[in-house]
Amino acid sequence: MKGKGDAMLKSTLAALLSSLVCVALFARQPPRSPAGQAAAAVNPTGELRQIVPGHYVYSFTTYNSGIIVTSEGLVVLDALNSEATARAQREAMASTIRQPVRALVSSTFHDNYSKGNVAYADVLKIGHENYRTDLLELMRRGNVSAGEQRARLPNQTFRDRMTLYLGGKEIQILHVGRAHTRGDSIVFVPQDRIVYLSELYFANQFLFIND
């Protein structure tokens, strides 16, 4: 049964990649200078840009968060490195896109993409089951408070794939095996032919395979 499921998932991924016209990537950019990093620590505000109609990216220092726009609200991909950064992103989305956030999909459990989850307590938080397990272990090792643990953990997990239907859009959330971490998610919007890769793609360098 597992072999059949793996084959189906690989077939889906192959079809996905072969059909893409436009790809939105959460590319990790080259690191900033120490002065730039210090400035970012003081000012958590990033930049919100439209990639194509219905799809935005919010960039902060070397990291990016994707935004899928539907007629019923937004789906955010990765919440970045702090509550302050995530709240700045939410303010930018509210003033520019003017749609409520309905769901947060998280891919990398590392602090730079999970500390911002705290700012999304009011939405459905989704992550792979390994993402949840590894994030919980990371926070326990770091003696993170129980309250912050609850705020950062997803309240919906999946094993191979799940699909959201929101505002007339089909949003596929896929797990295709270990990559940057063992709980990475790929988000695919078939009708727009857009895929969000999170940290499965690094700009100008080979993918860092770690956890």
pLDDT digits (tens, 9 = 90+) for 24-79: 344 444 444 444 444 344 456 899 999 999 999 999 988 899 999 999 999 999 99
Q: Is residue 19 part of a domain?
A: yes
Q: Is residue 210 part of a domain?
A: no
Instruction: Give the per-residue pLDDT at 197.
Output: 81
Which CATH number goes with the domain that contains 44?
A: 3.60.15.10
Q: Is residue 122 part of a domain?
A: yes
The residues, ordered by sequence, that sit 6+ positions from 103 with a Cβ below 8 Å of its Cβ are 75, 76, 123, 124, 125, 126, 164, 166
Q: Is residue 209 part of a domain?
A: no
Domain that holds residue 60: 2-200
Average pLDDT over residues 158-180: 90
Instruction: Give the per-residue pLDDT at 6.
Output: 53
Total domains present in the chain: 1
Q: Is residue 211 part of a domain?
A: no
Q: Are 73 and 99 in contact (CB under 8 A)?
A: yes
Alpha-carbon span 63 to 29, nearest angstrom:
7
Question: What pTM value is reported for the model?
Answer: 0.78
CB atoms within 10 A of CB 160: 16
Q: Is residue 102 part of a domain?
A: yes
User: Distance of CA 78 to CAs 24, 82, 88, 117, 133, Å?
Assistant: 13, 11, 14, 8, 17
Q: Is residue 171 part of a domain?
A: yes
Instruction: Give the per-residue pLDDT at 47.
Output: 93
Q: What confidence tens digit (pLDDT) does each residue in 105-128 have?
A: 998 877 777 899 999 999 999 999
Q: Is residue 208 part of a domain?
A: no
State percent of the chain over pLDDT 70.
71
Burial code (b: 16+ CB inside 10 Å, e: under 16) for 27-65 equals bbeeeeeeeeeeebeeebebebeeeeebbbbbbbbbbbb
